[in-house]
Amino acid sequence: DTAVSQTPKYLVTQMGNDKSIKCEQNLGHDTMYWYKQDSKKFLKIMFSYNNKELIINETVPNRFSPKSPDKAHLNLHINSLELGDSAVYFCASSTGLAGGPGDEQFFGPGTRLTVL
């Protein structure tokens, strides 16, 4: 009965490869997010989707492409992986548009991506 799940939890790959991280939430939330946590533990928003529509696209290389097939899923595809992409990627979800009343975000367990 995991609320927000991510697969895989660990991903080790070579530079130049393409990889995907999947995220699913069973909370019935309308909004989903991807955050990146770097080696210094700093967390930064990458993308936000509301009902399958892109809301936020921070300054992220276009090698990163989120895809939301339905409002319960938000996957992250990364092309041509680089060393600097190594990080922990967190998926999260919330009831409505971020910043609205009661907008607690529920986080997945994170995916540790290591690019060699």
Q: Which residues bind another protein (CB under 8 A)?
A: 33, 35, 40-45, 48, 55-56, 88, 90, 92, 97-99, 101, 103-105, 107, 109-110, 112
Q: How far apart are alpha carbons 62 and 36 in whole angstroms?
A: 15
Using the minimum distance from each CB to another protein, give the nearer residue, 72 or 97. 97
Using the minimum distance from each CB to another protein, give the nearer residue, 28 or 99. 99
Calculate the alpha carbon distances from 30 to 20, 75, 103 in Å.
Answer: 22, 15, 11
Q: How far apart are alpha carbons 13 and 54 in whole angstroms?
A: 28
Q: Rounded to the nearest whole angstrom, what is the least distance from the CB of residue 109 to another protein in the complex?
A: 6
Q: Rounded to the nearest whole angstrom, what is the least distance from the CB of residue 13 to another protein in the complex?
A: 19
Using the minimum distance from each CB to another protein, give the nearer residue, 19 or 47. 47
Calculate the alpha carbon distances from 57 to 20, 38, 49, 61 in Å.
Answer: 18, 18, 9, 10
Q: Rounded to the nearest whole angstrom, what is the least distance from the CB of residue 102 to another protein in the complex?
A: 8
42 backbone dihedrals φ, ψ, rounded to 5°? -75, 130
